[in-house]
Structures are given as structure tokens and as C-alpha cells.
Structure 1
């Protein structure tokens, strides 16, 4: 066992002991016993996932086992199996095998390499730009991750960066964060946005406009943050290509299997882009496309290839989704938000101070509830917060959104988890990068966003 892993176990052991103390001695006048248990279990899961002390699927399995024993009923703990996110990961893994088996991934990757050039900087900016632009036509962050990551993985390998190399990990992070970060600035492009907008309409009768949302968030939290992603990848992961590594030759015209897979993926993309018209979840479209991929005659892979799908990524996603469901069912998220907001007098902080306090509260709540969960918890409190802080309701909702749009750890957002798993990037790598993006956002971009909101007259 390495010393690096030793400190992780010591840290996680301390967190476990702290959790036990919370369960045994937590004051009942602040949290109910079952809420203390949910808090302790959540804290432990976050510690193990954040440090990578145990493999991610092992932590997920233990979390679900402990949760179903004494914290939440099975239908809540295992609700991740019924979540569209789980089935998107399953379908995405099928697509990953299909693009590899048919050679379509390598063909697209080599075409992109020809378009972007061979320099690492050009590849990074090309991936970030392509992934980010998909936020406009494709409303599902999960769908974008499932589509983008297998192609970026093939592009990395075709450009001389084999799986596990620094250059490979950087390109996967560029694709994952490029598409996810850009989605915050495009109203229908992330689940977090949709939860906030839907809750605001249902609970507060407050309506957002597409153009208004874009104008409010895209210049700083969209464009500048995507540029920050590219800059950090170049700074941390720039790596000379390894000549000849996984560089398949592009020979002759596309084979029939490539044409069939291309058609299947094209139809899936059309289905994802038109989900507002037909109402089908991107997950069910992905499942149908994945099923077609393994059909005899018209499919592109043998059904036996399904046996190569790994259980680990699926268990991890189920555990992450179950964590959010357990916290929501226990009422812990609402109680934490109310407690944080009651600490001080919001009105005494002034407009900017109150705005920052609400954003910070949403950011902290999202650590326990995940990003969509934080939006669902905070929005019903928005009118109360607006009265206490002396801010307009629209301004409070914007502050909540900025907190929900700033993940500190990958587990808070299912699309990020999916992208890391599909790209075979270790969680520890994703955690470090997420923390760096969060630090840059908090220290530099949030002040710029506040300045921008003042310029446009919202604050």
C-alpha cells in the first residue's frame, strides 16, 4: 500500500468516526435521527469518492448496502436503476464498443485529427469547441457525453495518446467539461437548468426566456469558463504524442457496418434534438439505438459483445443517483439550506453580499444533494430569501443557479460521472480537475459574472 493511499484511508477513517459521532450525539432539535444518519452516510460516501481511497463501484455498493439497511427504503436507495442516467450509461457503453468494433470511431477521429491538426493545443481547442457547440442543438448533457466521449477517445488514440497517458486524459476532460460547462449557459441544455426553470414556473410562477438566459450566463459562465477548461487542460496535460500509438490507418471507403452505425447514431441525434416535440427521454432513444446495434443482420456487433460491458461504471452511476435520492427523501437538503440561510441577516450584507451568500449556500447544499437536487431544494425557498435579502426574485434565482452551476466534485453531476467512466479516466483525476475549475470559477469568474449582472441591470 502506498503512502498516498495511506493518507486517504486515515482521512476517510476520520470521516467515518465523525459520521458515527453525528449519528450517536447529533442534536435532535436541529436534525431528526434519520437525517443525521443520512448526513453521516452521505459524508462518508463523498469522502471515499472524493479521495479514491476505495474503487468507485465499491464505495457505491457499500453506500447502497448501508442506506437500505437503516436510512432509506429500497425504492429510494435503488432508484438509480430506474433513472434515465443509468440507461444512458448502458447505451453509451454499447456505442463505445460499436464505434471501436466497426472502425467508425477511428475514421471520424482521423478526419478530426486532419481538421484540427496534430498540435495538442489545436486538438484541445477543437474538442472543447466542438463539444461546447453541441449544447445548442442537443438539449441532453447525458446524450452529448454518450456521443462525444467515444469519439474523443478514438481521436486521442489516433493522435498518439494511448489510454492512460496524460494527453489522453486531458482530451477526455476537455470533451467532458467542454460539453457540460457550456450547457449551463444554454437554458435547455442541462438537467440543472431545467430543474430550476421548472421549479420556478411551478412553485413561484416565474418564467425565464431562452434569450434572456443566454444573455445572462453565456458571456462569462459559458464562453470564459469553457476557455478556462481549455487553458487548464493545456497547462496540466500537454504531452508529446507517442508516435505510432494506436494510430490506425484510414483505408479505403467506409464499410457497410460503418454506414449502418453512422445511420443509427444520426437517427439517435435527430431524436435527441427533437425531444421537445415527441417527449421521449434521451435515455430511451439511446436504448433503442443501442438495441438496434446488436440486432442480427441490421446491427453492427454481436450480442455476445454485451458480455464485455463492465459492471463497475454502472454500479457507480447507480450509487451516485441513489445518494441524491436518499438525501432528498430524508429532507436533509432542505434543512441544511434553511440552517445556512438563518446564520446571518441577509439584508445587512447589502445587495452584492446577499447575492454571494445565496450563491454560496446553493454551492454547499449541492455537495449533499447533487446539482439538480440543490436547484430543487433552493428554488422553493427563493421567495423567502428575496424578502429577507431585499433582492428581486429573479436576482435570487440567478444566484441559486450560479451556485448550482459550480460543481466541486464530479459525483455532483451525473453527466460528468458518465463522461469519466466512458472515457476510462480515474475519478481522482476528474476530482482534481473539477476542484481546479471550481476554484477558478469562484475566484475569478463569479466576480466577473457579478460585474456583468450589474452592467445588464440585474444586480
Structure 2
């Protein structure tokens, strides 16, 4: 007679299979990190050790994605408070900074544009104007990606929206998702999105980077200056992406069969402009105008972003119904708030000084001019991004250290922060970006495609920075 299986054992086995052994080991390491650092015989103040212990737990859980990022962040902040490391005003101090609220506004703006159909109308308007030749359609998608960054700041939803339009165009070519046409266009919008998310303040990583530069670098960061500083890189990378995709993935067909008829059909299906679309367009234009002129009025981009996002929810003025507003993913708000809170705790407990000295102390002798500092920062950030795959986690953990290093060595925190932030746009592997993961879901490319295109942009952008940082940025008062 067989012995019945132990239900508890079966439950543990099924849970292990569901979670994965890698995450289980990471969870054990993260939890073990707390007592190991807490009681480690290090020549540090107790508060400093305790802050490092909890921060280590948070970083390990974020890297391995053991549980949702927001939950990890909340647990860590609660531990800072519950274990007496810092008072609650510091443990949750990140929520009093601008970045989480800027993000909420950006999420509302993105939802407003997609729910009204304004984003799709803009996409087809641009595609209709570029013609039916494949090379022009490809350029049209890249330009659309750039312009839509102002309206849908988050890269993944932007890529998903454009990707669905790409598949419709590919079908009109009479091709499938494995064709060069499909592969080229999806890769173009994906890699362009990873760049634009860094050069225009609105995505989660750029909002967070700006906030940390202001908070820890003690310098003002204007939306307009950020955009103008990166604009030459945007233009060159648009052209570079267009050229590279055409060379690597020559199209099976040069022209879209019945192309104008297809595009006209899609535009007609959208119908005339609706009142919500018009109101959404007015709100978007208003936001961009105020952002672009912040060097005159000095109104925080976060104030503008949240204000426009809230206006989108007001009856008569806005366009979002209560049911639509429920689609907002507020967990990213919690994640960003706890990210900044962790950095605040590390600064309050002097742990930031210890980490900065350990990680960047050896770099000081080599950063003796603009060219050296640009090269070292760019490639150091790239290496850090290989380990801290999440852009948000990478910036939240390392940017305060970069700012500390800049202040201690009398370097421009704004310039160093911008180089460090821009370097997170370099990707060689799909896991490094939610944008690439979203694009990969369409089944049009593989890891080899990502590696070779990513390598091209990684090298090209480092060379471009060597020209822009010493020659162009000083004209803007950066550096």
C-alpha cells in the first residue's frame, strides 16, 4: 500500500517550481544579507551598518525580482522604520520628493492619449505623409516614436501601441512577423524608445534621474535644458537607426502594395476628430509649451505634469472617466517612492559616503579632464547596468553615489548625472529593458539581433558623447 504524499511537501514543491530555484536562492541571500551586515564587525556607526544591511536586502530582491518591486520597496522602508534605523519621515521621505508625483502625472497623460485614440491618429497621420516606400515608412515610425514620447512618456506602452500598428503594415506588405520588414520596424521603434526615454524627461528612469540629480547634486535641472542638451543625440540616433536597420535588414518589398489605400482606410476608420481628442491635444500642447519654457518661469516639470494629469480627470475639461483612471498602475509610483526613500536613508545614516568611497574612490585619479570622465562614467554605468538590469533600480542605487562623488571632487553634478543616466540606454540583452521585453513579445526578432544592434549603438553613443559633452554642453552652461 503506497504512502500518501505529504500535502505540505507537495505544496512546497509546487511553490518552488512556480517561483524558480534562482529566485528562491536570491530570496535566501537577500534575507541573510540583513543579519550578516547588521552584526558585521565593520568600523562603521551602527546606524550606517543597519542601513546598508536593509538596503542590501532591497537591492538583491530588486535584481532577482523575487516579489513585485513595489512590495520589496515598501518592506525595506518599513524595516528602516520598524527597526529604528530612521524615523518614518525619512524612511518614507521619497514620497515627499517630486519624482513619484511627476510619474503619476505622466501616467495620466499617457492614458489620456491612448484612451482617446489621439496617439493612433498621430501615428497614421505621420505615416500617410511619408509615402509608401519602405525606407520612408521606417523613418516615419522612428519619428512617430520620437513625437509620441511627449505624449506617452513610458516606453513599453508606446512600443506596444506602435508595434500593433507595425503588424498591420507588415500584413499589408503580404509578409509575416519573421520577415525583414517586420523585424526591422519593431527593432527600430524598440531601440529608438530606449534612447528617447533617456533624452526627454517623462519616462520613469529620466524622471527619477532628474529628481536624484536635484536632490543629491543640489543643482536645478530644467526640462528644457535636458531636452536641448540631448537633442543633437536624438537627431543623429534617428538617422543612425534608420541607416542601420536598412543595411542589416533589407526589405523583401520596397513599396507597400496599395499602401496609400491602406493608410487612408485606417484613417477613415478613426473618423472625424472627437471632442475628447481635441481636449487631449490641447492639454498635451499646453504641457509641452510650459515644459519647454521652464527656464523662463521656473515652474517645476513635476508640477506641470501632475497638473495636466489631474486636469485630464476633471469633468468638462478632461477626457478620462473614473473607470479609465482605474487602469493606472500605481505600483510603479510606490516603487519610485521607495527607491528615493532608500537613497534618503542612506544619506541620512552616512552610508552613502561609505558606498561612494568604496565604489568610486579608485576612479578619482583617472578623472582629470572632460574626455576621461565621460569615457569612464559611460562605461562604468554600462557595467553597472549589466548587473542592475532594471534601469530604475540601477539609477536609484547608483545616482546618489555619482552625485556624492561629483561634489567631493568638485565636478559638475548635472553633467555627470546626465552622462550616467544616458549610459543606461545602452542595451546588449533583452532582460536589460522592459521596452525590449515588450517589443520581443511580438515575436519578430531574437537575442542575436538585440546584441548586434545594441553593440552598434553602445559604441556609437559613447563616441557621440565624446563630441557633445566637451564641445556642445559648455555652450549650454553644462560641465
For residue 55 of structure 1, report the CA deviation from its aligned partner.
1.9
2:197 to 157, 166, 180: 180
CA distance in 2, matches of 1:233, 1:56: 34
Give CA-to-partner distance per residue, 1:212-245, whole Å, 9 cap, x none. Answer: x96xx887x7677777888999999x9xxxxx9x
Of 317, 322, 325 in structure 1, the residue corresponding to residue 344 of structure 2 is 325
**Matches of 2:99 and 2:306 in 1, distance apart?**
11
CA contact (8 A) 1:110 1:250 kept: no
Compared with structure 1, are the counterparts of its residues 16 and 233 closer, same or farther at alpha carbon in structure 2 (3 Å cutoff)? Answer: farther
Q: Tell me by how many angstroms 1:254 deviates.
A: 0.5
> Out of 396, 404, 407, which is 1:377 matched to?
404
Q: CA deviation at 1:152?
A: 4.9
Q: Equivalent of 1:154, from 153, 161, 176? A: 161
How far 1:263 moved relative to its partner?
0.9
User: Normalization by structure 1: what TM-score?
Assistant: 0.65
Deviation at 1:270, TM superposition (A): 0.9
1:433-444 matches, within 5 Å, as none
CA contact (8 A) 2:99 2:211 kept: no
SS of 1:301's partner is: coil
- Structure with higher Rg: it is 2
1:295: how far off? 2.0
Q: Which residue does the alignment assign to 1:386?
A: none
1:311 aligns with 2:330: yes
Where do residues 336-415 of structure 1 align in structure 2 (5 Å cutoff)? 336-340=355-359, 342=361, 346=365, 367=394, 370=397, 372-383=399-410, 402-403=419-420, 405-407=422-424
Residue 441 of structure 1, CA deviation: 7.7
Q: Secondary structure at the match of 2:24?
A: helix
Give yes or no for contact 1:341–1:361 (8 Å, CA) kept in 2. Answer: no
Equivalent pair of 1:64/1:319 in contact (CA under 8 Å): yes
- Deviation of 1:406 (Å): 2.6
CA contact (8 A) 1:113 1:155 kept: no
How far apart, CA to CA, are the structure 2 residues paired with 1:309 and 1:108? 22
Q: Deviations over 1:311-369 (max 9, x none)?
A: 32222222222222222222222222223455599379999888866777788699585
Which structure 1 segments of 5+ residues have no match?
135-140, 203-209, 239-243, 384-392, 411-415, 427-431
Unaligned runs of 5+ in 2: 1-15, 169-176, 220-224, 252-261, 386-392, 442-446, 475-479
Partner SS, residue 160 of structure 1: helix
Partner secondary structure for residue 159 of structure 1: helix
1:21 matched residue in structure 2: 36
- How many angstroms does 1:174 deviate by? 3.6
**Residue 241 (structure 1) aligns with:** none
The match for 1:49 is 62
Distance 1:22 1:353 in 2: 35
Q: Distance in 1 between matches of 2:307 and 2:165?
A: 29
CA distance in 2, matches of 1:177, 1:338: 31
Aligned match of 1:62: 75
Which residue of the partner structure matches residue 75 of structure 1? 89
Query: Aligned equivalents of 2:231 and 2:329: distance in 1?
Result: 37
In structure 2, C-alpha distance between the alignment counterparts of 1:348 and 1:152, rounded to whole Å:
38
TM-score w.r.t. the length of structure 2 is 0.62
Query: Could you tell me how far 1:159 is from its partner in structure 2?
Result: 3.0
- Quote the Cα distance in structure 2 between the aligned partners of 1:377 and 1:348: 15
Between the two proteins, the alignment pairs up a number of residues equal to 402
Hey, what's the Cα distance between the residues in 2 that align with 1:201 and 1:109? 39
Deviations 1:417-441 (A, max 9, x none): 9x96xx8999xxxxx9999999878
Equivalent residues of 1:292, 1:299 under 8 A apart: yes
Does structure 1 residue 259 correspond to structure 2 residue 274? no
**Distance in 1 separating the partners of 2:65 and 2:105:** 26
Q: Which residue does the alignment assign to 2:106? A: 92
- Distance change >3 Å, CA 110–CA 155, structure 1 → 2: farther
Q: Give the distance between the partners of 1:169 and 1:265, measured in 2 at CA.
A: 26
**Kept after mapping to 2: 8 A contact 1:79/1:321:** yes
- Structure 1 residues 53 and 121, CA gap change in structure 2 (3 angstroms): farther
Q: Is the 8 A contact 2:95 2:337 kept in 1?
A: yes
